[in-house]
Amino acid sequence: MTMNPAIELKGISKSFGPVQANKDITIRVMPGTIHGIIGENGAGKSTLMSILYGFYRADAGEIFVDGKKISIPDSQAAIAAGIGMVFQHFKLVENFSVLENIVLGAESGALLSPSLGKARSELATLASEYELNVNPDAIIEDIGVGMQQRVEILKALYRKANILILDEPTGVLTPAEADQLFRILKRLREEGKTIILITHKLREIMDITDTVSVMRQGEMTATLGTKKTSPENLAELMVGRKVLLRVDKSPAKPENPVLEIEDLNMFDDFGVQRLKNVSLSVRAGEILGVAGVAGNGQSELLEVLGGYRKANGSVKIKGSEIDLSTGVAGDGQARRAQGIAHVPEDRQREGLIMDFMAWENSVFGYHREKSNQANRFFMDNNAIRKEAEAKLDRFDVRPLDTKLRAKNFSGGNQQKIVLAREIERDPDLLLVGQPTRGVDIGAIEFIHQQIVALRDRGKAILLISVELDEILSLSDKIAVMFDGKIMGERLPSETNEKELGLLMAGVSGEAVQ
């Protein structure tokens, strides 16, 4: 007896104007399996998922669930078909309780109390069946990220989902939490649920999926059994050519310390301590990589060093103390004058003004410098434009149009504009946060090379990234942050992912043999 695929897509296509996001996609996922979908940014994974969840309507093609053809005009239809989705950015109401979030949209009547009562008992059943324990009355903003993700999964299960789609689920989890998630997914698989995992992490695909599809530029380039492939093979399928997964670099030749941080403490606007006695140092000609799950103080560290957060403690640049007491904007320009350049974590929100043109962005942060002024009153826009063109050219920004607004460049090119601006200043210290987030593989290589080149010119670099691979391949020295503290420092050659993962989860160094 042949089993129907849990879900099958035939010839799905979708265009947005001239851009074809999905081209003739065909997949089959068998029930009780975990299927991975991997691809670069812009490959079309999100569009496909949006179609499956009813956000978009496909231009052509058919969808079959359990052998029956269905149409998914909206989310309600998707839910009715048993499709549940766990988004990368959680769709939870932060000041509601867990119970209220689960019940929202699946209430059993006009009055709330009966709905809440029913949900409570159902939740208890689900918890015991799948080991998904949560406190139903906890408020979302008070519980941790791993727990919030469980609520999202419970939401889908409460609505009787048989097919669970997870979009980049481990981005915000520690390695230990990710392991826990995978245990839950395996349990769900045992119970006959079908799971589709969308990710860009090759390692996850190898670890947990049964089958994997690769998407590239809107097309499905391959579907394989996971056991029959390898990370290198998958990377090549994603990009279409051989990809260097590690950076070629010569050993570092560090000299004098450029950045010296001692006992840095920082409290945020709500009085919560975000940095706890942080001490670090970075030498000239060295890349210090700070690893850690997002939200453990790395962003705050960058904000303090970048000059827009108050803090206590001692920070020295090339031997001289920086004044940390002012904070909340204003000192960004002073820091730049002292030779610090900053590539922020969120290029679209902080690093660039999306509506400004590329040439205007090329002096963002440096707009008051003498070299950019024509006279006492006005800026020298012509000179700035010329200089911008040269910078963008050296950094291979495409298209090479200084008058194009930043929002019209791709993610990788936007990042290159920011890097061009900061690296071309030949700073003594470069702060760099998540340099390759949302950037396609080809540009990643280029960006890594630029960072290493800067280091080889004898500059100091503080690199912050949630991607352990990036940290391991780029850094000369690694520090791990957890809960605002430095858990330990290691040399890349003397450690591994497991040890770093433990440190990232707050397990202190002494316990590790």
Partner 1 sequence: MIDFLTLIQVLDGTLRLATPLLLVCLAGLFSERAGIFDIGLEGKLLAAAFVSAAFAAITGSVWLGLLAGILASILLSLLHGLASITLRGDQIISGVAINFLAAGLTVVIAQDLFGQGGRTPPLKSGGRFEPLNFPGSISSKEMSDAGPLMQLYSELLSGHSLLVYLALLTVPLSWFVLYKTRFGLRLRAVGENPAAVDTAGISVVGLRYGAVVIGGILCGIAGAYIATSLQANFTKDMSAGRGFIALAALIFAKWRPWYALGACLLFGFFFAVDNRFQNILMPAWALSSFLIFISLVLLSYVWKKDYLDKVVLGGLALGIAIISLMVISSVWTSGISSQVKIPVVFIQSLPYVLTVVVLAGFVGRAIPPKAGGQPYIKER
Partner 2 sequence: MDIMPKWVDIIVVPLFSLFLAAFLAALLILAIGESPVAALNLMIEGTLLRSAGWGYMLYYTTNFIFTGLAVSVAFHAALFNIGGEGQAMIGGLGVALVCLFIPWPHWTLAIIGASIGAALFGMIWAGIPAYLQAKRGSHIVITTIMFNFIAAGVLIFFVVDVLKPTGSMDPASANFPASTHLPTFQDIASLMGFEKAFRSAPANVSFFIALFACVAIWYLIWRSPLGYEIRALGKSGAAARYAGVRPVKIIMIAMMISGALCGMMAINTTQGESERLILNFTEGAGFIGIAVALMGRSHPAGVFLAALLFGFLYQGGAELALWTKIPREMIVVIQALVILFTGALSLMVRAPLERFFMSIKRADV
Please answer whether residues 272 and 141 qualify as being in contact, where contact means their C-beta atoms are separated by less than 8 angstroms: no
**Residue 31 phi, psi dihedral angles, 5° rounding:** -65, 155
Name residue, tokens 């999306």: 354
Nearer to partner 2, 306 or 435 (CB): 306
Instruction: Compute CA distances 487 → 260, 413, 454, 499, whole Å.
Output: 17, 35, 27, 11
Which of partner 1, partner 2, none lies near 115, with the C-beta cut-off 5 to 8 A by kind? partner 1
| Choice from 17, 18, 73, 109 touching partner 1 (CB under 8 A) | 109
**What is the rounded CA–CA span in Å between residue 423 and residue 449?**
12
Least distance (Å) from partner 1 to the CB of residue 161? 12
Check binding of 270 to partner 2 (CB under 8 A).
no
d(CA 390, CA 359): 10
The Cα angle at residue 462 between residues 253 and 330, in degrees rounded to 5: 135
96-118 burial by CB neighbour count: b if 16+ within 10 A, else e? ebbbbbbbeeeeeeeeeeebbeb
Does 360 participate in binding partner 2 (rule CB under 8 A)?
yes
Rounded CA separation 93/141 (Å): 9
CB of 338 to partner 2, least distance (A): 12
Stretch that binds partner 1, among 106-114, 265-273, 342-350, 412-420 (CB under 8 A): 106-114
42 binds partner 2 (CB under 8 A): no
Output the DSSP codes for 12-71.
Answer: EEEEETTEEEEEEEEEEE-TT-EEEEEE-TTSSHHHHHHHHTTSS--SEEEEEETTEEE-
Please give the single-letter amino acid code of residue 110: A
180 neighbors 149 (Cβ within 8 angstroms): no
Q: Which does 333 bind (CB under 5 to 8 A by kind): partner 2, partner 1, none?
A: partner 2
Distance CA 8, CA 31 (A): 11
In whole angstroms, how far apart are CA 258 and each of 14, 159, 254, 282? 52, 56, 10, 6
CB of 357 to partner 2, least distance (A): 11
Q: Which of residues 299-358 bind partner 2 (CB under 8 A)?
A: 306-308, 328-336, 342, 344, 346, 349-356
Could you tell me which residues come within 8 angstroms of residue 103 by beta carbon, excluding any fewer than 6 positions away?
112, 115, 116, 119
- Of 100-108, 175-183, 292-300, 362-370, the segment contacting partner 1 by CB under 8 A is 100-108
DSSP states along 271-302: S-EEEEEEEEEEETTEEEEEE--TTSSHHHHH
Q: Of the listed pieces 95-103, 120-128, 372-380, 441-449, which binds partner 1 according to CB under 8 A?
A: 95-103
Query: Segment contacting partner 1 (CB under 8 A): 5-13, 111-119, 192-200, 486-494?
Result: 111-119
**Considering CB under 8 A, how many residues would be counted as binding partner 1?**
33
In terms of Cβ atoms closer than 10 Å to its own Cβ (0-12, 13-18, 19+), residue 71 is: exposed
Angle between helices 441-456 and 411-423 (to 10 degrees): 10
Q: Which residue's CB is nearer to partner 2, number 150 or number 421?
A: 421
96 binds partner 2 (CB under 8 A): no
Q: Least separation, in Å, of the C-beta of 332 and partner 2? A: 2
74 binds, among partner 1, partner 2, none (CB under 5 to 8 A by kind): partner 1
Q: Does 407 bind partner 1 (CB under 8 A)?
A: no
- Say if strands 257-267 and 312-317 run parallel, antiparallel, or are unpaired: antiparallel
**Segment interacting with partner 2, rule: CB under 8 A, options 32-40, 256-264, 361-369, 386-394:** 361-369
- The option from partner 2, partner 1, none interacting with 130 (CB < 5 to 8 A, set by class) reads none
Give the contacts of 385 (CB within 8 A, at least 6 positions apart).
359, 402
446 binds partner 1 (CB under 8 A): no
What the block records as the tokens of 245 is 């997964």
Report whether 49 contacts 129 (CB < 8 A): no
Q: Is 375 in the site for partner 1 (CB under 8 A)?
A: no
Task: Based on the shown chain and the rule CB under 8 A, indicate whether residue 103 belongs to the binding site for partner 1.
Answer: yes
Residue 295: CB minimum distance to partner 1, A: 19
Interface with partner 2 includes 408 (CB under 8 A)? yes
Among the candidate windows 31-39, 50-58, 404-412, 433-441, which touches partner 1 by CB under 8 A? 50-58
Does 107 bind partner 1 (CB under 8 A)? Our answer is: yes
Contacts with partner 1, 147-186, as mask; x by CB under 8 A: --------x-------------------------------
Q: Which residues bind partner 1 (CB under 8 A)?
A: 46-47, 50, 53, 55, 74-76, 78-79, 85, 87, 89, 91-96, 100-101, 103-107, 109-113, 115, 155
Q: Which residues bind partner 2 (CB under 8 A)?
A: 17-18, 306-308, 328-336, 342, 344, 346, 349-356, 360, 364-365, 367-368, 373, 377-379, 381, 405, 408
